[in-house]
Chains A and B, each alone.
Chain A
Amino acid sequence: MATADNLHLDILELIFIYLSGNDLVSVALVSRAFFAGVIPRLYRKIMFRLNHAKRYPQLMSPFRAIIEHPALAVHVRHIEIRRIPPLKTQHHPVFLSEATQALSLCKNLQSFRCDKSALPSFLAPLQKKERLQELRVNAQLTTAQSEKLAKLDNLTSLCLDYGSWNIIDALPRWAPRFARTLTSLCLYSANELNEGVLDQVLQQLPGLQALHIVGCGQVDHVAVLRVVSHTPLLESLSFSTTESSSPLSKTAPSLPNLRHLALDTRYSMMSSPAPQVLASILNHLQSSAPALASFVLRLPEIKITVGKDFIEQLVKLHGSTLQTVAFIDCALSLDSILTITKSCICLERFELPIPLKDMISFASSIGKAPNLRLLIDTATQYGHSHGHGPSASLNQEHARYVIKSAPHLRKIVSGKRVWKNGSSGVGTLSLERLPAFSSGTYWFMPRDATDFGMN
């Protein structure tokens, strides 16, 4: 007879993939077999976050555990260091040395992420990782450190945050090492990046599928739309727009595979030329990227309403293909919401600031979208400090009301809460809490089903 007691170890491991946190601890305490089954799952991905850092060194770090039991190291595929415990004003030296030692033991490492400026300590152990494919690091490096980082080869995904001029300077020389393998490149807030360097890099990466150049002061939409002529296979593209009125290149780049577009809109004044700029970008890309499935727009100020004309243009060009639409740090008029839900028949995921004051018209607009599954309130989800404190979030009554007019909706996310619509009708609305930590992907990245778009 088949029971949980005699399931093979490999099946237990498959089950435990779907568990996390305290559930894993409970499972470990059930029996010897469960204990053995849960270890690979516990060490597959090591994430060191704020709540771990706060309790260091009272709470043992996973890196210490690996040093004491090197057999655990084979299970480690992913390491994410989000926080580093401080000692006075510096990174805790004991922690850094533990993490460095453990990292050199993890031979099967596939992805490494380090958000804080501690990368220099990890450069040496990162060198010999044959399976390392994905790297996301805070790249404030010196020239010598940049040269070391630029020795890593065969990466498939590279994301550099706050890259210093040294690493930006090394990029064109680094590119040949991953020219054949890299599919995704993200440069975030690299103020020293200019169009010339980016052009040299992209020339070498004709197979690139995702490019995100956001918050790099010297590279605006005009420059990005010029250089992407080197990367015709792009499926996903993000960039920052400015008020620059310099004309876009005459011929639009050919991007027949482009599905995801994210625009980080930067402008200062109220009577800004930005709306015209946004319109010109959509027009420019019309022939090169005829069928967007995902569109994300972020404005610099929560009080600014996205222009009605822009929404109409967006819907006219891509309404029949859009599945995901997201509006961040801005307002959206009820008319615009209705325009979107009425016209985008494939829409599955809608991220927007939910207008709590107009729930009646809002709910009926949402009911117009036949395939909408997920609704995310961006007024509470992307908590950028505007000095107003957290905005009010949806309550039970609001959620019931929306689900009543849109019974196809599966989930509504607002604040720290997820309202789930049970499969058997309106009566079974259930409430869950979002995980206490965020997935940490950037707002401009393409979404996937498990990501609730938190910052």
Chain B
Amino acid sequence: MKNVGESDQPIPLPNVSSSVLKKVLEYCEHHRGEPLPAPDADTSQDDTRKRTTDISEWDQKFITVDQEMLFEIILAANYLDIKSLLDVGCKTVANMIKGKTPEEIRKLFNIVNDFTPEEEVRLLALPHSYHQLILSFWHHQAQIKKENEWAEDR
């Protein structure tokens, strides 16, 4: 937090629990003195190329935590604007997702499938071209909306 400048003002941390803050401090302590990433590094350079999901050895060990802690760390890093830690967290989640089917991803993160069965059939019947997939989904949504409006009008 050196880049905030020196200040006696306390920083309010309403969303960060003490156990998470401890982890975050451990990270900052280890990486102390390393140069900060350029402020717009993510918009210029990384943007044009595929980003690597490699994580350094120490960071890998550090981020091997249970899922709840992982997401708490991501939220805290985002809130405290610690970009390198946010990157490590996001890369870890991305690595967990890689190669999994939608159902496996739901199971992994305990996510409820909130597509209607009808929508799902439509989505799954499509070839794996996301352009077609998105278009069909949106068309379908628009259609449902129209039907609902029509029903309400009655």
Contact call B99/A7, Cβ cutoff below 8 A: no
B100 x A26 contact (CB < 8 A)? yes
CB contacts (< 8 Å) of A22 on chain B: these are 128
Say which residue of A61, A69, A77, A423 sits within 8 Å of B47 (CB atoms): A77
User: Roughly how many angstroms separate A16 CA and B91 CA in the complex, as a whole number?
Assistant: 9
Nearest chain B CB to A376 CB, angstrom units: 15
> Would you list the 6 A-B pairs with minimal beta carbon distance, nearest first?
A4-B109, A18-B94, A2-B71, A65-B131, A29-B102, A423-B57
| A65 with B94, Cβ < 8 A, contacts A5-B110, A22-B128 known | no
The majority secondary structure among interface residues of chain B is: helix
- A25, B133: Cα distance in complex, Å: 9
A121 at the binding interface (Cβ < 8 Å): no
Instruction: Identify which of residues 5-55 in chain B touch chain A, using a CB-to-CB cut-off of 8 Å.
Output: 45-54
Interface size class of B (residues with CB under 8 A): 35 or more
A-B contact pairs, 8 of them (CB 8 A): A4-B71, A7-B74, A15-B97, A26-B97, A26-B101, A27-B105, A29-B120, A39-B134
Contact B71 A31 (CB under 8 A): no
CB of A31 within 8 A of CB of B129, answer no
Chain B hits for A31, CB < 8 A:
106, 111-115
**Once bound together, how far apart are the Cα atoms of A28 and B102, in whole Å?**
8
A30:B113 contact, CB within 8 angstroms: yes
With A and B bound together, what is the CA distance between A423 and B101 in angstroms?
27
Q: Which residue of B45, B72, B102 is within 8 Å of A30 (Cβ)? A: B102
Q: How far is the CB of A253 from chain B (nearest CB, A)?
A: 28
B46, B86, B105: the one within 8 Å of A26 (CB): B105
On whether the beta carbons of B134 and A65 are closer than 8 Å, the reply is: yes
> Does A42 reach chain B (CB closer than 8 Å)?
yes
- Tell which of A5, A18, A68, A72 touches B111, judged by Cβ atoms closer than 8 Å: A5
Interface membership of A64, Cβ < 8 A: yes
8 Å CB contact of B98 from A8, A19, A451: A19
Out of B50, B90, B108, B114, name the residue touching A15 (CB < 8 Å): B90
* Smallest beta-carbon distance B88→chain A, Å: 11
In contact, B114 and A32 (Cβ under 8 angstroms): yes
Which residue in chain A gives the minimum CB-CB distance to B70? A2
Interface residues of A (CB under 8 A from B): 1-5, 7-8, 11, 14-20, 22-35, 39, 42, 44-45, 59-62, 64-65, 68-69, 72, 77-78, 110-111, 134, 410, 423, 435, 439, 448-451
* Alpha-carbon gap, A11 to B99, bound state (A): 20
CA distance A410 to B54 in the complex (A): 10
A111 and B120 alpha carbons, distance in the complex (Å): 36
Chain A residues with Cβ below 8 Å from B109 are 3-5
Q: Identify which of A7, A25, A62, A439 contacts B49 (C-beta below 8 A).
A: A439
Q: How far is the CB of A174 from chain B (nearest CB, A)?
A: 23
The one of B67, B74, B98, B127 that contacts A11, using a Cβ cutoff of 8 Å: B74
Give the distance to chain A from B14, nearest Cβ to Cβ, in Å: 14
Q: Which of A24, A33, A450 is the one whose CB lies under 8 Å from B51?
A: A450
Q: Is the C-beta of B68 less than 8 angstroms from some C-beta in chain A?
A: yes
Report the bound CA distance from A34 to B112 in whole Å: 11
Q: Which residues of B contact A34 (CB under 8 A)?
A: 105, 111
Contact partner, B97, options A19, A45, A78, Cβ 8 Å: A19
B82 within 8 A of A: no
Assuming the contacts A3-B67, A7-B71, A17-B51, asked whether A68 and B78 have C-beta atoms less than 8 A apart, the reply is: no
Q: Are B71 and A23 in contact (CB under 8 A)?
A: no
List 18 extra interface pairs beyond A11-B90, A64-B131, A65-B135, CB under 8 A. A2-B74, A2-B75, A5-B110, A5-B111, A8-B78, A14-B86, A20-B50, A26-B102, A26-B105, A28-B130, A30-B105, A31-B114, A32-B115, A34-B111, A60-B132, A65-B134, A72-B134, A423-B60
Minimum Cβ distance to chain B for residue A374 (Å): 11
A412 to chain B, nearest CB (A): 15
Q: Whole-angstrom distance from the CB of A436 to the nearest CB of chain B?
A: 13
How far is B124's CA from A19's CA once the two chains are assembled, in angstroms?
20
Contact B112 A5 (CB under 8 A): yes
Complexed CA–CA distance, A312 and B133 (Å): 58
The reply to whether A448 and B49 form a contact with Cβ atoms under 8 Å apart is yes
Q: Enumerate B110-154 residues with CB–CB distance to A below 8 Å.
A: 110-115, 120, 123-124, 127-135, 137-138
Q: Which of A1, A18, A62 has the most CB of B within 10 A?
A: A18
Q: How far is the CA of A39 from the CA of B71 in the complex (A)?
A: 22
At the interface, yes or no: B93 with Cβ under 8 Å from chain A? yes
The answer to whether B112 touches A28 (Cβ under 8 A) is: no
Query: Contacts of A110 on B, CB cut-off 8 Å?
Result: 47
B45 → chain A, closest Cβ, in Å?
Answer: 8
B133 and A23: CB pair below 8 A? no
A1, A2, A111 — which one has the most chain B CB atoms within 10 A of its CB? A2
- Please state if B52 and A2 are interface contacts (CB–CB under 8 Å): no
Q: Which of A20, A31, A439 has the most CB of B within 10 A?
A: A31
Question: Please, which residue of chain A has its CB at the minimum distance from the CB of B52?
Answer: A450
Closest to A424 in B: B57
